[in-house]
Structure 1
Amino acid sequence: MTAATNHQWRLAHRPEGMIKTSDFNLVAEPVPELADGQVLIRNIYLSLDPAMRGWLIDRPSYVPPVQIGEIMRGLAVGMVESSRHPKFEKGDTVQGLFGWQEYLVSNGEGVTKLPSSPLPLSANLGLFGLAGMTSYFGLLDVGQPKEGETLVVSGAAGSVGSLVGQIGKIKGMRAVGIAGTDEKCDWLVDGLGFDAAINYKNGDLRGQLKAACPNGVDVYFENVGGEILDVVLSVMNSFGRVVVCGLISQYNATDKVPGPYNFAMVISKRLRIQGFIAPDYGPRVKEMITDFSTWYMDGKLKYRVDVVHGLDAAPTAINKLFDGSNQGKLIVQVSEV
């Protein structure tokens, strides 16, 4: 027997500024009976990511925008409730872009069976999910870190930034994080082993950066954009690398955003600026899982999740990413493990 009802969030209209619950419709639909070759998945954890704001804008990007009336796209971890598919059995834990809903009937395409692990199921989003891929390949492949160099990470207390700084330490770098509260800065240093952390809201960001990075900045992992990017460009070393992961300060802007005023530094300091997206590295995900598992078991890598309960909370909870109130990887618990 399949579940009687599936609740799902469908896009009602495109947000202006911060996302609002009224931008979506909460729809209840019956779950159909399975046909041969299909599998029924119950969502357990739903990942909330800054990139979702971009998916709601009607413009060309690396993925098509979510269309009006469509289920909101989202990475999730779930469990197979019933199966008429040869590759899946009842009780399998799986991951994929299952969307903002309670259940998914799938033909198996894009559904990944997760291996057994001593870690909590939420680790597949907090450690091994998109945040893990983004931090691992963004720093190691794009940033090309070298032992003894200085790494600066903006949005450092978030799911990606917190991992980037720790990877930098593992690779012998000096890791400096930028965050928005003293509490987050303390966690970066005392909890994760960053060498220093800066609260950008305390003023004189350039002075704080110069004090925390006496030898300048070699690699800047960019999650924020705006004024912070401008200031970091002014303290970069020659031949430094800027890894552009996200520009979260701009995602909810309703007017045109000015470009960095210090962009001439790219010429005088011969900087390399490169953007990237995690899906480019999908074929290499096992590299990340192998290293992360080893580092975690050795106590070199830590993570934390910020769990919001209930699918109905998703449209409001996602704004925690943009107002800075999230503490680690933001996920929605849709159902019980």
Structure 2
Amino acid sequence: MSVPETVREVRLARLPQGRPVAADLAVVETPAPEPGAGRVLLRNRWFVLFPGLATLLGDTPPGTPFPGIGPGETLFGPAVGEVVEAPADSGLRPGDLVAHVQGWREYAVADPAALTPLGGRLPDPAAHLSPGAVGYGALTRTAPVRPGDTVLVTGAAGAVGTLAGQTARLLGAGTVLGTTGSPAKAERLRELGYDAVLVDERTPGPERAERFARQLAEAAPDGIDVLLDTVGGHQAEAALAAARPGARAALIGVLSHQLDGTPGSSAPLRLDAFPLILKGVRLAGYANDGHAAAEAEWLPRFGAWLRTGAITFPHTRITGLDRAPQAFQEMIEGRYFGAVLVELG
């Protein structure tokens, strides 16, 4: 496979002022990378856009496990690449597909130890970029689903939520509820098997939170057993107020904070601790601890479910690196359903 003399990558052009926009990013040409001794040269095939990247553009919040990205630096994220060159002792051959974290560029160089060969575990190699393992890990470890449970997934139309609702059902949930800000997305979520979808349209004022709480009370009059929260804010507050005795809650995102352009790294919740204590509600964040084990368990189950049609991988494919900045802005604005992948020729 011939490698061009110059290749393209996406860099941060300027620090975002509030919510990131396409103009904050720039597609630039750079000399093709040289693999060097013991290194692997990759041609990227797909990479995934994810909302959490917005928090890495500039100074990162304390405790963030990833470095911040400054002006002039190349963006990064999960990707599937094809091996172009590899050391003889690496176990890799040209043409092999591997997972890595150097997305947002056409070619990358990596240490063999940082690459995960894909083999044929999934029927579509691009499905390795789904964040399904996050929801699976949360629903089997942090907030385990039990047969017959009522499960609420906030931000259900996102990359995590579209798979988490399906996964909850396969794990035995009796009722699966979701939230979204779009009536059109609500209809698509019902097609994925959500029993009811709460539409939380963005309107200013306290009425929004009150309206959402009423919707939840109507959809789950007896309360909820499991919360998988990707949104935070008033949705998480209402869900925890509706928790049944012994309920479990996994916090895995704060989209309401990340996507509204609010500066700062805090995402406060207002909770009444007394009923949570009386009900014995378990509330925990789903972090990276144990994620490798969840991923190893998820992949064969995901592959089997995909092959039988028990689960689908909702996503949009954007063709071409030059379209990635605009697609990132549109994802932040909530225009997509499911995951967003950039496909490189």
Give the TM-score normalised by the residue count of structure 2. 0.88
Task: Indicate whether 1:244 and 2:251 are aligned.
Answer: yes
3-state SS of 1:122 partner: helix
Instruction: Give the residue type in structure 1 aligned to 2:81.
Output: G
CA distance in 2, matches of 1:326, 1:8: 23
3-state SS of 2:201 partner: helix
CA distance in 1, matches of 2:267, 2:252: 18
Give ranges in structure 1 of 5+ residues lacking alignment: none
The 8 Å contact of residues 39 and 110 in structure 2, kept in 1 or not, is answered as yes
- What's the counterpart of residue 56 of structure 1? 57
- What's the counterpart of residue 198 of structure 2? 198
Q: 1:71 aligns with which of 57, 70, 74?
A: 74
- What's the counterpart of residue 138 of structure 1? 138
Task: Indicate whether 1:310 and 2:315 are aligned.
Answer: no
- What's the counterpart of residue 125 of structure 2? 121
- What's the counterpart of residue 36 of structure 1? 37
3-state SS of 1:320 partner: helix
- What's the counterpart of residue 14 of structure 1? 15
Shift of 1:278: 4.5
Shift of 1:284: 4.4
CA distance in 1, matches of 2:290, 2:320: 31
CA distance in 2, matches of 1:77, 1:222: 27
Give ranges in structure 2 of 5+ residues lacking alignment: 203-207
Equivalent residue pairs, number: 330
* CA deviation vs aligned residue, 1:238-260 (integer Å, no higher than 9, x gap): 23222101001101213686733
Instruction: Give the residue type in structure 1 aligned to 2:298.
Output: M
The 8 Å contact of residues 20 and 332 in structure 2, kept in 1 or not, is answered as no
- What's the counterpart of residue 166 of structure 1? 166
Deviates more, 1:241-250 or 1:197-206: 197-206
Within-5 A mapping of 1:84-233? 84-86=87-89, 87-117=91-121, 119-126=123-130, 131-173=131-173, 174-189=175-190, 191-201=191-201, 204-233=211-240
The 8 Å contact of residues 153 and 177 in structure 1, kept in 2 or not, is answered as yes
CA distance in 1, matches of 2:288, 2:33: 33
Task: Indicate whether 1:319 and 2:329 are aligned.
Answer: yes
Deviates more, 1:98-107 or 1:7-16: 7-16
Instruction: Give the residue type in structure 2 aligned to 1:197.
Output: V
Q: 1:170 to 1:309 in 2, by over 3 A?
A: same
3-state SS of 2:236 partner: helix
CA distance in 1, matches of 2:47, 2:129: 8
CA distance in 1, matches of 2:149, 2:176: 9
The 8 Å contact of residues 118 and 125 in structure 2, kept in 1 or not, is answered as no
CA distance in 2, matches of 1:194, 1:274: 24
CA distance in 1, matches of 2:270, 2:87: 58
Q: 1:229 to 1:78 in 2, by over 3 A?
A: same
Q: CA RMSD in A?
A: 2.3
* CA deviation vs aligned residue, 1:110-157 (integer Å, no higher than 9, x gap): 11111125622221213xxxx111011011111111111110001111
Q: 2:292 aligns with which of 282, 288, 297?
A: 282
Give the TM-score normalised by the residue count of structure 1. 0.89
Identity across the alignment (%): 29
Shift of 1:280: 4.1
CA distance in 2, matches of 1:299, 1:235: 33
Q: 1:132 to 1:278 in 2, by over 3 A?
A: farther
Shift of 1:215: 2.1
Instruction: Give the residue type in structure 1 aligned to 2:40.
Output: V
The 8 Å contact of residues 150 and 226 in structure 2, kept in 1 or not, is answered as yes
CA distance in 1, matches of 2:115, 2:234: 40
Q: 1:234 to 1:306 in 2, by over 3 A?
A: same
CA distance in 1, matches of 2:43, 2:334: 30
- What's the counterpart of residue 261 of structure 1? 270
The 8 Å contact of residues 79 and 102 in structure 2, kept in 1 or not, is answered as yes
Instruction: Give the residue type in structure 1 aligned to 2:323.
Output: A
Shift of 1:261: 3.0
